[in-house]
Amino acid sequence: MKKIVILVSALLSLITAANASHWKTYNGTSSHFELTVGGGYTALGYQFDNNVLPTSMTVKNTGSWTVKGHIGYQFFFLKWMGIGVGANFQRYGGAAQLDGSMVWNKVTDTDGEMYNHTLSLTKWKQKDQIWMVEIPVSLCFAIPVNNVFLTLEAGGMYGIPVIHNYKGDGTTRHTGYYEPWHLPLHDQPDHGFYTEKGFHPDGDIKTKSGFAVFGKIGAAIPMTDHLQLLVQAYGHYYLSSIVKTSNDQAFGFRNDRAGMQEAHYFMEDYSSLSTTGLIKKDPKPWNIGVEIGIRLVFPHRSTHCNCQWWDSGQNVDWAK
């Protein structure tokens, strides 16, 4: 599967004049190598379909805290502008809490009788997480401001899911109602009517690769001639979903069929919210956070180069 990545990298090139006296820069190019770790807040972008979600059901959808690792290389073809590539290892995730009930009308039991099946949920929560390996490509800026560099970066990246799973937790209750006899049934596990306080399903989420745009802003603080302390805020937004949604499964049947022997199974085994049709198609994940790390800077200097020294507002060219 190949896609054309379109990098949206539009920045106003506003260069702030250095306020400090005795500021020294070199003409020519340089290489930057950086290593950072960080964390922040993420969400998978789930939105529940009100046309499918029962009116008796409430949903609380949240994101989760996340961590990130990054390694990168930047080639500055000007003193203040360059291009960058790298690799991220990043977690995206979220959680959904459901309370209320869902009803399946006119389903058939093991004796062929028609009845209505009700599934009740009490503070039932599913947590999803997707670990991505991402390849970013960007346009980079390093603008001198006083004794630090203002860093700006914008670009796009291709993300590949490598770990993708879900875990559920909460209480489920299955009951039945037979209209001809006005007969409610519950607490009969062998016939599919039971309460399960420890319903903890887990498994894999179906995922796919995708493209995202991202931006960073921060500061690079020189520690030595070649070492800088890097602190940046970042934001990622996927242009398409990395979760495959479908409506192949009904929600919430217990997954230990052997314990129910001759009971009927009009619902399939539970396999995550993304397969129930409750979630709208094409959810778009996002991520914001802060990263900190180090940057190694190596200027590319020829034997003879023109450099500039700013001293009390005077600009003097000299050759090394």
Could you give the 3-state DSSP secondary structure of residue 275? helix
Separation between Cα atoms, residue 145 and residue 16, nearest integer Å: 7
CATH topology of domain 27-319: Porin (2.40.160)
Q: CA torsion angle for 222, 226, 227, 228 (degrees, to 10)?
A: 40
pLDDT at 2: 39
What six digits make up the tokens of 107? Answer: 């389903």
Separation between Cα atoms, residue 166 and residue 200, nearest integer Å: 10
What six digits make up the tokens of 47? Answer: 């939105």
| Whether the predicted pLDDT of 160 surpasses 70 | yes
| Whether the predicted pLDDT of 302 surpasses 60 | no
Separation between Cα atoms, residue 182 and residue 180, nearest integer Å: 6
Q: CA torsion angle for 18, 20, 24, 28 (degrees, to 10)?
A: -10
Closest CA to 153 of 313, 9, 259, 300: 9
Mean pLDDT of 158-180: 92
Q: What is the pLDDT of residues 120-139, one digit of tens each?
A: 988 889 999 999 999 999 99
| C-beta neighbour count of 78 within 10 angstroms | 13
Residue with more model confidence, 223 or 262: 223
Confidence (pTM): 0.76
List the beta bridge partners of residue 29: 300
List the beta bridge partners of residue 170: none
| Whether the predicted pLDDT of 260 surpasses 50 | no
Q: Which residue has the tokens 């291009």?
A: 83
pLDDT at 252: 57
Mean pLDDT of the chain: 80
Residue with more model confidence, 265 or 188: 188
* Pairing assessment for the beta strands 306-311 and 314-319 based on DSSP bridges: antiparallel
State which H helix or E strand residue 9 sits in: none
Percent of the chain at pLDDT above 90? 45
DSSP code at position 268:
P
Separation between Cα atoms, residue 68 and residue 208, nearest integer Å: 20
pLDDT at 89: 96
Amino acid residing at 9? S
Q: What is the pLDDT of residues 70-117, one digit of tens each?
A: 999 999 988 889 999 999 999 999 999 989 998 888 888 777 788 998
